[in-house]
Amino acid sequence: MGVFKEEPRRLDGHQSRCPYCGLLQDRAVTLEHDWVLLEPDLAPLAHTVPAEHRWIELSDGRVTVYGVCPPDPYQRCRVEHRLACSAQPLPDLWPWLTMLRGENERRAERQAAPEPPQLPEQWPDAG
Ligand SMILES: [Zn+2]
């Protein structure tokens, strides 16, 4: 009769709609009393998620980044909705790979550039 029952929540937080894609996301309180918006109904194994993006639920319902390294192979975690949102750019999940790609881009540019004149090969004098 016009009364909307809220869905049961697994976290102490609430659900809200993503302003970018309109899908529901779980609002969870972090240990720092901030909010984090988590992808609902998704709990991948922690080792499949980049380290800084593994959120685990604590017994009091708050969430925190899972800091165990290496992760327990059976530990499951939550991920932020923004990583799964089709309407937001994917953040830099693997910074070292991004650095490597940048380095390779520079290497590829150098390789494509005209070769500098080759100097005759010189060996250091043996002692
Ligand atoms: Zn979204």
Residue 70 lies in a domain: yes
Residue 93 lies in a domain: no
CA 82 to ligand 1 center in whole angstroms: 6
Query: pTM (2 decimals)?
Result: 0.69
Query: Distance between CA atoms of 81 and 42, rounded to whole angstroms?
Result: 10
pLDDT(1) > 60: no
Condensed to tens digits (0 to 9), the pLDDT of residues 47-79 reads 999 999 999 999 998 999 998 989 999 999 999
Contact 53/93 with Cβ under 8 angstroms? yes
Residue 121 lies in a domain: no
Residue 108 lies in a domain: no
pLDDT(11) > 60: no
User: What domain range is 71 assigned to?
Assistant: 15-86
CA 47 to ligand 1 center in whole angstroms: 24
Condensed to tens digits (0 to 9), the pLDDT of residues 86-121 reads 999 988 888 889 999 999 999 999 998 876 666 666
What confidence score (pLDDT) does residue 24 get?
95
DSSP 22-33: --EEEEEEBTTS
CA 13 to ligand 1 center in whole angstroms: 18
Q: How many C-beta neighbours within 10 Å does residue 23 have?
A: 14
What sign does the CA torsion over 83, 84, 89, 94 have?
positive
Residue 68 lies in a domain: yes
Count of the separate structural domains present in the chain: 1
